[in-house]
Amino acid sequence: RQEIWLDCDPGHDDAVALILAGHNPALHLLGVSTVAGNQTVEKVTDNALRVLAAAGLAHVPVVAGAAKPLLRPVPLLCAEIHGESGLDGPLGGPVLPAASHGALPGKAPVCMFEAIAAAHARLVAGGAADARVHLVATAALTNVALLLALYPEVVDMVEVTIMGGCLGVGNTGPVMEFNIQTDPEAARIVFESGVRLAMVPLEVTHTALVTTSVLQRVRTHQPSPFLGLMTDLLMFFSDTYATVFKMKDPPLHDPCAVAWVIAPELFKTEFLRVDVETVSTLSPGQTVCDIWGQSRLPKNCTVCMEMDVARFWDLVIDAIHAADGV
């Protein structure tokens, strides 16, 4: 099994990424860190605990990370899509019941390093062909940048996969995607770190649409309180996306990054130079993807360009059903 750490800001799509990371048989979820993004770090940490408890994953450690971006004074937050709690349901307020367990007391980069270094050492000792631990980030890259700055040796221990960025049109800015726009400086540190890096941009995640037939597949397993909650969660997101982006069906961004770790054969990719705009007043957080190699700078990122959407949904729906009743 692949060792994976998930850094996130649940968030409706992060919630499903947690379930996919925790319930796909090819993965072992080492732990979860949170960062301010869709909501404040207090709220997204509480949401991560709620999701893990509801999905039979309360044993997975959670640590709260950065409350604000590295340089920018406040996180953007995204209540218009994820509600005031960050994980609202159709009745307002959080969709999932409160968890009875809490987060670890430590600092996120320290806990991340300890878990990653230990898992990497186990993989090396076991003679693994590739001893890299997967660090998947589905939120602003603040915690990941701090981890790489504090522990540069991590560069050789991990492969980082992010849901973030875009080649063209953005979502929270004309050419900016929310996770990168929230902390452009952190993203720049990660993209320039030399770490093995893969990016799943909006162009791919906008093909992972929660259609009525996807919702029906979630529900048709067997009626249960958990599947009822999952349906509420996905339908809330559907309404806010319709209001804000006039999209008939909402894109489930974050599980796409987990799917890349499970099944890279589902993706078409390009290895490109990607730089993060940090100084512009027009487009801070833009991911500048050098498709034609015109910058002549070294390539630094595997960019996912297309995904096999049907097989993606098979992975997600299997994980949701595996979580049901655990």
Q: Choose the binding region for Ca ion from 44-52, 137-145, 165-173, 314-322 (rule: CB under 5 A).
A: 137-145
Nearer Cβ to Ca ion (66/157): 66
> Where on the chain is the footprint of ligand BDR (CB under 6 A)?
11, 13-14, 38, 78, 81, 138-139, 163, 171, 177-179, 253-254
Which residue number is nearest to ligand BDR in terms of Cβ? 178
Q: CA-based Rg of the chain, rounded to a whole angstrom? A: 18
* Helix, coil or strand: residue 135: strand
How far apart CA 164 and CA 177 sit, in angstroms, is 6
Determine contact, residues 180/285, Cβ cutoff 8 Å: yes
Q: Is 253 an annotated catalytic residue? A: yes
78 binds, among Ca ion, ligand BDR, none (CB under 5 to 8 A by kind): ligand BDR
Smallest gap, in angstroms, from Cβ of residue 138 to ligand BDR? Answer: 5
In single-letter form, the type of residue at position 43 comes to K
Catalytic pick from 12, 120, 253, 321?
Answer: 253
Determine contact, residues 215/239, Cβ cutoff 8 Å: no
Q: Choose the binding region for Ca ion from 1-9, 168-176, 194-202, 301-309 (rule: CB under 5 A).
A: 1-9
Residue of 268, 262, 271 whose CA lies nearest to 312: 262
How far apart CA 185 and CA 163 sit, in angstroms, is 16
Residue 321 tokens, joined: 């059903």
How far apart CA 43 and CA 23 sit, in angstroms, is 23
β pairing state of 267-276 and 287-290: antiparallel
81 binds, among Ca ion, ligand BDR, none (CB under 5 to 8 A by kind): ligand BDR
Examine residue 138 and tell whether it contacts Ca ion (CB under 5 A). yes
177 binds, among Ca ion, ligand BDR, none (CB under 5 to 8 A by kind): ligand BDR
Nearer Cβ to ligand BDR (27/81): 81
Which residues are designated catalytic? 253
Interface ranges with Ca ion (CB under 5 A): 9, 11, 14, 138-139, 254
